[in-house]
């Protein structure tokens, strides 16, 4: 698994340098040193667990599908939460964001919310990150996971080690890029930079956000 680090100062995620590195690499965005490992521990522990599963076991497909989906949804939820906060303070939008997140649990709804509060759909962002097949592969694993959870473990037999490894590696690539985009393109940053195009894009995002708040899905489970 490629190791990423998240800058303590600006939050930028880079695919080089880890805190324990003898000579810490400066952040490519703000040039300061000091970073923590990314993804966060709960996600990397899931990745380590999935990696440790016995590929020869008849249960490999079903077990890896379940835990890989947990890992991916964890990454997606953190990303969408960050996008929905739009770099605003918790006092300003935190309660509404919590409400939005509560109404969009599960992969499908989170992906809808991603499109509503982001600049593009998740599929488009995955392509921009160089992983055009990632959303479809994720869906394959999610469908298998759902079958497993409904008592049909054999439905996951197409889930192979190479698919799982590929999807986890792609996920880190896609979510690191998405994180950086929505991290650096903050309202305040753009306003301070006086970039009219960026400001307009942010206005559009804010509009989408308002619409998302106004269109909470009915609560019928996820
Ligand atoms: Zn930085």
Transcribe 53-110 into DSSP letters.
Answer: S-TTSTTHHHHHHHHHHHHHHHHHHHHHHHHHHTT--IIIIIHHHHHHHHHT-SHHHH
Full residue range of the structural domain in which residue 181 is found: 41-214
Q: How far is the CA of 109 from the centre of ligand 1 (A)?
A: 32
Q: How far is the CA of 6 from the centre of ligand 1 (A)?
A: 8
Flag whether 12 is in a domain. Answer: yes
> Across the chain, which distance is largest between two alpha carbons, in Å?
58
Distance separating alpha carbons of residues 220 and 179, to the nearest angstrom: 30
Same domain, 91 and 193: yes
Q: How far is the CA of 185 from the centre of ligand 1 (A)?
A: 14
Report residue 157 as tokens.
Answer: 């037999």
Q: How far is the CA of 49 from the centre of ligand 1 (A)?
A: 30
The band of 202, judged by pLDDT with boundaries at 50, 70 and 90, is confident
Q: How far is the CA of 34 from the centre of ligand 1 (A)?
A: 8
Average pLDDT over residues 127-152: 96
Same domain, 49 and 130: yes
Flag whether 120 is in a domain. Answer: yes
Q: How big is the chain by its Cα radius of gyration, in Å?
A: 18
Distance separating alpha carbons of residues 174 and 179, to the nearest angstrom: 9
- Tell me which of 21-25, 56-60, 94-98, 161-165 is least confident: 21-25
More confident residue, 16 or 113: 113
Flag whether 221 is in a domain. Answer: no
Same domain, 126 and 79: yes
Flag whether 73 is in a domain. Answer: yes
Same domain, 122 and 195: yes
Same domain, 34 and 49: no
Same domain, 177 and 119: yes
Same domain, 143 and 98: yes
- The total number of structural domains that make up the chain: 2
Check if the beta carbon of residue 119 is closer than 8 Å to that of residue 81: no
Same domain, 98 and 145: yes
Q: How far is the CA of 111 from the centre of ligand 1 (A)?
A: 28
pLDDT of residue 70: 97
Residue 167's H or E segment, with its range, is helix 161-184
- Tell me which of 100-109, 110-119, 187-196 is least confident: 187-196
The band of 189, judged by pLDDT with boundaries at 50, 70 and 90, is low
Q: How far is the CA of 177 from the centre of ligand 1 (A)?
A: 14
Residue 147 burial (CB count, 10 A): 16
Q: How far is the CA of 14 from the centre of ligand 1 (A)?
A: 9
Same domain, 53 and 16: no
Q: Is the dihedral of CA 52, 54, 59, 62 positive or negative?
A: positive
pLDDT of residue 24: 65
Q: How far is the CA of 130 from the centre of ligand 1 (A)?
A: 23
Q: How far is the CA of 143 from the centre of ligand 1 (A)?
A: 38
The band of 21, judged by pLDDT with boundaries at 50, 70 and 90, is low
Same domain, 8 and 65: no
Distance separating alpha carbons of residues 60 and 53, to the nearest angstrom: 7
Q: How far is the CA of 57 from the centre of ligand 1 (A)?
A: 43
* Residue of 90, 102, 163, 97 lying closest to 133 (CA atoms): 163
More confident residue, 180 or 214: 180
Same domain, 30 and 97: no
Q: Over 80: is that where the pLDDT of 117 sits?
A: yes
Model pLDDT for residues 74-108, shown as the tens digit of each residue: 999 999 999 888 777 777 788 888 988 898 899 99
Q: How far is the CA of 119 from the centre of ligand 1 (A)?
A: 23
Q: How far is the CA of 37 from the centre of ligand 1 (A)?
A: 13
Residues with CB under 5 A from ligand 1 (ion): 7, 9-10, 12, 27, 29-30
């Amino acid at each position: 698994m490629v190791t990423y680090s998240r800058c303590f100062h600006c939050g930028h995620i880079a695919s080089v340098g880890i805190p324990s590195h003898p000579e810490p690499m400066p952040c490519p965005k703000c040039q300061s040193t000091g970073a923590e490992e990314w993804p966060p521990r709960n996600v990397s522990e899931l990745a380590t667990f999935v990696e440790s599963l016995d590929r020869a076991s008849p249960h490999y497909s079903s077990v890896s599908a379940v835990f890989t989906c947990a890992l991916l949804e964890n990454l997606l939820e953190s990303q969408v939460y960050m996008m929905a906060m739009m770099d605003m303070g918790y006092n300003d939008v935190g309660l509404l964001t919590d409400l939005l997140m509560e109404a969009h649990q599960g992969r499908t709804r989170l992906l809808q919310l991603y499109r509503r509060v982001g600049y593009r759909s998740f599929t488009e962002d995955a392509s921009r990150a160089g992983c055009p097949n990632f959303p479809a592969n994720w869906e394959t694993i999610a469908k298998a996971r759902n079958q497993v959870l409904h008592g049909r473990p054999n439905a996951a037999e197409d889930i192979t080690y190479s698919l799982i490894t590929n999807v986890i590696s792609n996920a880190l690539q896609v979510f690191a890029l998405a994180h950086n985009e929505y991290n650096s393109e903050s309202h305040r940053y753009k306003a301070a930079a006086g970039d009219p195009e960026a400001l307009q894009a942010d206005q559009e995002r804010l509009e989408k956000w308002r619409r998302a708040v106004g269109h909470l899905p009915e609560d019928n489970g996820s």
